[in-house]
Amino acid sequence: MDYQHLAKQIDALCHGEKDTIALMATVACEVHAAHPLANWTGFYRVTGPEMLKIGPYQGGHGCLVIPFSRGVCGAAARTGQPQIVPDVEAFPGHIACSSSTKSELVLPVWNGAGVLLGVFDLDSDTPAAFDDADAKALGAILADTFREAV
């Protein structure tokens, strides 16, 4: 996966944009098209206390609402830490939005003021599709893209 090229492409498309939804839609589209193992790529937005709701995404349907207390997305929002899950069946409290999902990577998304905007979720029908290198590269892209988001 060529993350340098992806970062440049997303920066060119999003440069100067501050609208969170517009940024999320563009990032979801570009990452989904670029990552060979992603079959669902998208965002869950913080919409209330301890609550995530689906945002822009690519792929099949997703869960509409996820509390911080449940699932991989909830764990990323609750802890503020990336969640790399090579086998979703082994993750306590995993929410099966799609029965085809075998592995997942979820990253918290903050703006430059340190406000948690939501989480970025990549699902794959391939076990162990994502690793620490994916988390670091995508985390850097998200930090750059959303630093001025409102």
What would the pLDDT profile of 114-149 be if each residue is shown by its tens digit?
999 999 999 999 999 999 999 999 999 999 999 999
pLDDT tens per residue, range 86-116 = 999 898 877 777 778 999 999 999 999 999 9
Task: Return mean pLDDT, the chain.
Answer: 95
Average pLDDT in the 17-21 region?
97
Distance between start and end Cα atoms, the chain: 29
- pLDDT for 52-81, tens place per residue? 999 999 999 888 999 999 999 999 999 999
- Select from 118, 112, 121, 105 the least CA-distant residue to 145: 112
Give the domain 3-146 fold. Beta-Lactamase (3.30.450)
Full-model pTM: 0.95
How many angstroms separate the CA atoms of 13 and 5, rounded? 12
Q: Are 41 and 54 in contact (CB under 8 A)?
A: no
149 C-beta neighbours (distance < 10 Å), count? 21
Residue 34's pLDDT is 97
Q: What long-range pairs does 131-139 form, CB within 8 A, spacing at least 24?
A: 131/84, 132/84, 134/1, 134/84, 134/105, 135/82, 135/84, 135/105, 135/107, 137/1, 137/3, 137/6, 137/7, 138/3, 138/31, 138/105, 138/107, 139/82, 139/107
